[in-house]
Amino acid sequence: MLSAFTARPIIELKQRDKSKIETILAYGDRVLVGLNTGSLRIYRLNEVCQPSEPSTSNDTSNDTSYDASSSPASAQPTSQSGLKPTDLLREVEKFSTRSIDQLAIIKEANTIVSLSNYYVSLHDLQTYELIDTISRTKNATCFAVTSNIVKDAATGIPEIISRLAVAIKRRLLLWSWHESELHDEVTEIVLPEAIRTLTWANATKVVCGMNAGYVLVDVVTSQIHEIAGVGAAAAGGQGSRFGAASMGYMGLGGYMPKPLATRLAEGQMLLAKDINSLFVDSDGNPLEKRQVPWQSAPESIGYSYPYILALQPPAKGTLEVRNPETLSLLQTIDLPGAAQLHFPPPTVSLAHAGKGFHISSERAVWKMEATDYDTQVQELIDKAKYDEAISVLGMLEDALLKDKTGIVREAKMLKAEVLFKQRKFSESLALFNEDEVHAPPEETSEEEDQEEDEKANSERIAKVGTGVEFASPSRTGTFAKYWMGHRRADSDAASIASSKRGGADNDDAASVKAKKKSKDEGIPLEGKDLIKAVRELNSYLAGTRARLQRWIDPVTGKLKPRKPTSSTEAPLSLDENLDALLMHPRSESDEQLEQELKETFTLVDTTLFRGLMFVTPTLAGSLFRIPNFCDPAVVNEHLLKHNRYNELVDFFYGKKLHREALTLLRKFGDTDPEGESARLDLNGHADTEVAIPEQLRGPQRTIGYLQNLPPEMIDIILEFAGWVLQRDPDQGMEVFVADSENAETLPREKVVEYLGTIDADLEIRYLQHIIMELEDGTPDFHNRLVELLIQALKHNERNEAWNEKLGSLVVFLKGSQQYSLSRALSIIPRDDPAFYEARAVVFSNMGSHKQALEIYVFNMQDYVKAEEYCNRIHVLPGSRRESFPAPSADQDDPDSAPSIYHMLLSLYLTPPPPNKPNLGPALSLLSRHGSRLPAESTLSLIPNDIPVAELELYFRGRIRAANSVISESRIVDGLRKTQLVNTQALLLLGDGIPGGQSGRSRRVVIGEERVCGVCHKRLGNSVVAVLPDNSVVHYGCLGRRGRSGSGSRGERIAGSWGRHG
């Protein structure tokens, strides 16, 4: 968009040089570079004459970006003439023992200020020799220098005063130079938190950035002013996230963003923390400006007249240039690895004197050269960025431009022309008529062309519509007269005669009658006059519509109930308002009044719609997206004529004309998805070439429309869902399986029957949805799903999808308890090995566990699944284990009842013929579940020829289980004894808690002032009763307390020990 600055590399470290640039200092033609080794290099900047600057914009991708790395000079910092941009004059190797973190200059004192090894040192500007290392600056983190011309308060003579501010944890130390002489007096100010950044706001005030926020310190009076972030920002329109960000980071306990600050134009500063920003004045008060829309947190910020600069972290290496007024991003410059911004120290000179600045990375230094301001403004104008151009011109001084007045005039005139083309006539003419513009007649000649374009449209607006007319108010007002005068002579009288109702305010209420036109009324409205009249008419109709809503509800179309009131004047005024809205005297009955108001409302809304379509068609949709009385025939005709199909669908939806809307959507959606146009039958015209909007292509819009229909419209939903399911079954099923209330409450019987006629897979998917996700327990649905799955498995080709469907059948058979077991068993193939597991699941649900185990053991020979089956059956409650009696009270005794494991073991060792015993799985079962098997029957099943060593794990498990039972009983017995001792101690000794249970040493002290808790009288020497909570009442009040209390007993009687006196 703009080429405000150009990056010219002036210093680049050689590859063999292992040093890193930590900081730089530029003054005059010198550039001082501080390295991480403690060395200081002094360069002289040469004036390089570049013949022609290449374009700094990447037009192919982003017209606001500039890549410094792609510049020919970035690879080797030499000009085309062979002259180096800088010459290394000297290197001071012993400038510091550690890395040089910061450099600054106090030119008046011929002194260089450096920060290294957490100390601030002063060096001679000419020889670079160390003058002094200020010992009081131990542990210094940063400093800031400023030089200003200040008038002496006593003599009034101006003098140059330089100040040095050093941050040492929470302390702020201040030194000053008066006419190059360092004063011995050092000011120390202690802040509530450690200081991270320092920025001079003016000659006497410095902004200190801390983790919790910012403070403004007056170095003369030592006063501290806290800059409010939350409240002030919210009041100033910048939102409250500036202050909230610091709290969020503190809560996280992690990285704290660096508080940044920079001085802008006179009296303004920009504070930034993370992506949040705040504009303040020189006194620290927030300004009414919005936040800078940074996409990511900047590494540092600055100001180069007249732009705000933001340097992104070195990983991105980009410099953003923004307009301080509009905050728009004007330029993006790519600087690989850029880490620091360096600006000339603030002085009292002109703001534009320091427009050049430098940027450094670890290996290079760039000099940012500003483009000529006339070129910048002309570039914005050429790219039609007139608002930005006008804003930049307003910030620049007259002396910096060749002809500022002429450029401002040109920019505003061009902007006015754009506004005129955008039909913003009032704003355009207001801009043309400004004192700075005074546009000549030639500049507004385009207005005549605009009038010619409006003539054709005006004829369509003035014509009589189908069933509904453009009507004036009840008494013909100014804009109504314009409309009446613009109509054709042959339709004018018919139009007035056919108008039945019209809205009007109290002053204009009267009947509309055909009368002779005056000369002014006979002149038709054209061009901008017609548009202005339509705008005024629209405003009037909007007010009339609001008045009609006081009487009739546009949602239901019914009269609103009248609120009863004791005042006699209020109903009278309301009746007068109602009469003003009607052309004839209002009817006595509410039914006729309601019908008359509907007709009036229809006339107003339809006329308003036509006016909006004529003036601003994009706003017409906002009318019928709310409840309205627009005539559907008129809206349909106009929207189709203007190809506004999306708005037409919204209108049909609002009027509940769902069939018409879905028919239109099907015409557009059921076409070639690749084509942008199609030949359709629309608006009575057959085979018409129509451009299909992108939003209406395909079934997506129809799916969304069907999802919004209530379940009562199931017939329409099923009627128009067919082509969607045929076009895209996956998306079409979202109508029935979406996570919405409408989809979940659809009549499921009709949906299942409908999907079955289209595709069995769709029916299966819907049944799985309502059974698995919506937990529908209808047995018919469960039986139907089992039948469909089995039929699909029988006839489909066996592949990966077939295996997934088989798995879903098995899972469903296991989880469902609603399908008919006998019916499922009869339709599952008996001899197909793929269905063995499904048959086993059905047998299991029938309680025939032996048959299920026989399938796992003999047919499938899957001993792992057989054991898993036993594990699952073992943990089921007794009602589900129909082959076995309920477990006894002592479930730890395996001999008390037969077990499912015993049945499996018998199938392993004594199988029915022709199967043979399987000793391996039997021994494995005994080793893992032997403790759950009856010992006597288990040993009787084991063949006699099996060595005892192979039964070692079985016997060990049995012994371990028996020992566990004995150990558990001992532990329980010990715990019960401990509980008994604790209970006895509590009863005898109490719990030792003040006010708690005291055991046999329980006592209550009754003083003279103690009162009864029931009657609230003093106890005195009366007979009392002490309750378990140590409260004391009269013995006679004990019964009343019992009846009013929440206890189960109606009366409490105190023992003899509780009586007193």
Beta strands 307-311 and 318-322: pairing type?
A: antiparallel
Pick from 457-471, 571-585, 647-661, 1032-1046: least confident: 457-471
C-alpha to C-alpha distance for 104 and 177, rounded to whole angstroms: 14
C-alpha to C-alpha distance for 206 and 186, rounded to whole angstroms: 16
User: Measuring CA to CA, which residue among 846, 463, 441, 638 is closest to residue 433?
Assistant: 441
Q: Where does the pLDDT of residue 951 fall: very low under 50, low under 70, confident under 90, or very high at 90 and above?
A: confident
The chain-wide mean pLDDT, for the chain, equals: 76
What's the rounded mean pLDDT across residues 574-589?
A: 56
Structure tokens at 202: 């003016």
C-alpha to C-alpha distance for 19 and 22, rounded to whole angstroms: 9
Structure tokens at 62: 């982003």
Residue 936 clears pLDDT 60, i.e. is over it: yes
C-alpha to C-alpha distance for 644 and 609, rounded to whole angstroms: 13
What pLDDT shows up at residue 687? 59
Give yes or no for a contact between 853 and 904, defined as CB atoms under 8 angstroms apart: yes
The DSSP output letter for 858 is I
Q: What is the pLDDT of residues 968-1012, one digit of tens each?
A: 999 999 999 999 998 888 888 777 676 666 677 777 888 888 999
Give yes or no for a contact between 246 and 211, defined as CB atoms under 8 angstroms apart: yes
C-alpha to C-alpha distance for 620 and 185, rounded to whole angstroms: 74
Give yes or no for a contact between 373 and 401, defined as CB atoms under 8 angstroms apart: yes
User: Measuring CA to CA, which residue among 648, 645, 738 is closest to residue 721?
Assistant: 738
Q: What is the pLDDT of residues 267-289, one digit of tens each?
A: 889 999 988 999 999 888 998 88
In terms of phi and psi (left: phi > 0; alpha: psi -120 to 50; beta: otherwise), the region of 337 is left
In terms of phi and psi (left: phi > 0; alpha: psi -120 to 50; beta: otherwise), the region of 773 is alpha
Pick from 30-44, 140-154, 254-268, 381-395: least confident: 254-268
Q: What is the pLDDT of residues 53-92, one digit of tens each?
A: 443 444 333 444 555 554 433 444 555 556 788 999 999 9
Q: What is the pLDDT of residues 506-535, one digit of tens each?
A: 333 333 233 333 334 344 556 776 777 677
CA count, 13 A, side-chain hemisphere, 66: 26
Dihedral angle computed from the Cα positions of residues 652, 655, 660 and 666, in that order, rounded to the nearest 10 degrees: 40
Q: Could you tell me which residues come within 8 angstroms of residue 567 by beta carbon, excluding any fewer than 6 positions away?
A: none
C-alpha to C-alpha distance for 330 and 388, rounded to whole angstroms: 9
User: Measuring CA to CA, which residue among 285, 286, 338 is closest to residue 309?
Assistant: 338
Q: Give 955-1009 as a 3 state SS string.
A: HHHHHHHHHHHHHHHHHHHHHHHHHHHHHHHHHHHCCCCCCCCCHHHCCCCCCCC
Q: What is the pLDDT of residues 215-224, one digit of tens each?
A: 999 999 999 9
What's the rounded mean pLDDT across residues 420-444?
A: 54
